[in-house]
Amino acid sequence: MGVAGCGKSSLGQAVAAAEGLPLIEGDDFHSVANRRKMAEGTPLSDGDRDGWLDALAAELSRHPHGVVLTCSALKRRYRDRLRAAAPDLRFVFLAIEPAEAERRVAARSSTHFFNPALVASQFQTLESPVGEGGVLAVDALLPRARLQRQVTAWLHASAAEEL
């Protein structure tokens, strides 16, 4: 989880492959209207996100044996809605500075619907999950392979603690 450009999709793919789990790309569940708003540079409201979060929660419920979901989950109430669907859900927070997130989003602007002008609004909306249970904060600037190993180790350590 994290703001646009932090690397959710690439890290999600790496973790899903390493763990042998399905990957759910959260962006795929945005409505056409939401995609249009974001492409035009209009931030989504909580109301805009409601249907999206419902769809993601339903997807989590359909995978009781585990899944990797990429999702911004910017506010605690969004994360809590997802936790309600999957009580053992854990979050990896990809921490990144605004300038680097903006650079990354701008670099992919020809292939992704998200307007780089929205990066600032993502940081304004973000409620840091640091300190919440079941959250690992990582530095989004680390190499993907290192991040994947860090996340995998955390997942396995967390699972061992639950036994």
Contact 30, 40 (CB under 8 A): no
Q: Give per-residue pLDDT as tens, 147-163.
A: 999 999 999 997 666 65
Average pLDDT over residues 8-14: 97
pTM of the model: 0.90
Q: How far is CA 131 from CA 51, 66, 119, 152, in A?
A: 27, 23, 24, 20
Which neighbouring-strand residues pair with 137? 93
Kindly report the CATH number that applies to the domain delimited by 8-162: 3.40.50.300
Q: Give per-residue pLDDT as tens, 32-75.
A: 998 888 888 888 899 999 999 999 999 999 999 999 999 999 99
Burial class (CB in 10 A: 0-12, 13-18, 19+), 159: exposed
Q: Give per-residue pLDDT as tens, 88-122.
A: 999 999 999 999 998 988 887 766 667 778 889 99
Contact 41, 91 (CB under 8 A): no
The count of residues in the chain is 163
- Structural domain boundaries in the chain: 8-162
